[in-house]
Amino acid sequence: MPLMIQKYGGSSLATPAHILNVARRIIQTKEKGYQLVVVVSAMGRTTNDLLNLAHEITDTPYDRELDMLLSSGERVSMALLSMALHKLGHHSISFTGSQSGIVTDTAHTKAKILEIKADRIQKELHNGKIVIVAGFQGVSLDKEVTTLGRGGSDLTAVALAVHLKAERCEFYKDVDGVYTEDPKQNEKALKLKTCKIDEVMQLVQNGSRILNPDALLLAKENLLPLYLASSFNFQEGTTIHAG
C-alpha cells in the first residue's frame, strides 16, 4: 500500500469545525488506498499567542522553557485531529515529535534534525492506523524537547516523507497553489499547475513564506515530489517537481 504524507497548516486547523473538515479530507485520501502520516501545525495563531504569553512574563524567556511552551500548540492539534478521526469511524493515533523518533541536536528554538527513528510510526501504519504527528518539534540528544524554528512543521513533513519513502508530500494551507507572484499583491498573478522546486525556492528567496526553505532543500536533495493546495476547497493545487 503506497504511503502519503500530508501536512496541514495552522489556518486549516483554526477551529473545531476546521479540524473536522481536515479529518474528512484525510479519510478521503485513506479510502483511496493510502497509508497516511499527517503532520500538523498549531491551531490558528496559537504559536504567536504562546510567544506573547511568554513575553508577558519576561523579555528574555529561557530557550528550554520556550520550547516546552511552544511545542504544546502542535500537541493540541494532533490530539484533537485524532479525536475527530475516531469520531468519524477511523482508527488513528497521535504522536509528539519525540514519540515519532525525530532526534535533533541540542539547539533550542532552532534545532536541526539529525535522524529519525520511526519504529512506532511504522508499527501503527502496519496496524492500519492513520498516524498524526505534531510538527515543528523533536527530542534532542540530551532528551530535551526541541523546536525547529518558524515553518518547522513543513520540515517535519518532508523529513518523514524522505525517511519513510513516501510517494509524495502534500501541503494543505490557506493558499490553493503556487503563483507566479503573490496573488494578494497582484490579482493578475497566475497559479501554476506544475512547477520545479527551484522556482519555489526562488520565490522563497524573494520573501515568500509559502514553504519552509530547509524543507524545500531537503525535498530537492532527495527528489521528493511535493504538492501544494488549499484545505478550504477542492480546487486542483500545484505539483512541485524536485528533479
Taking only the tens place, the pLDDT of each residue in 221-240 is 999 999 999 999 999 999 99
182 pLDDT exceeds 80? no
DSSP 182: -
**Domain boundary assignment for the chain:** 3-241
- As a whole-number percent, the residues of the chain with pLDDT over 90 amount to 93
Looking at residue 184, its pLDDT comes to 75
188 pLDDT exceeds 90? no
Q: Which amino acid, one-letter code, is at 210?
A: I
Least confident range of 106-120, 163-177, 184-198: 184-198
Q: Which three cell numbers stand for residue 215?
A: 524543507
183 pLDDT exceeds 90? no
Topology of the domain covering 3-241 = Carbamate kinase (3.40.1160)
How far, CA to CA in Å, does 128 sit from each of 3, 158, 194, 222?
Answer: 12, 22, 32, 27
127-158: pLDDT as tens digits:
999 999 999 999 999 999 999 999 999 999 99
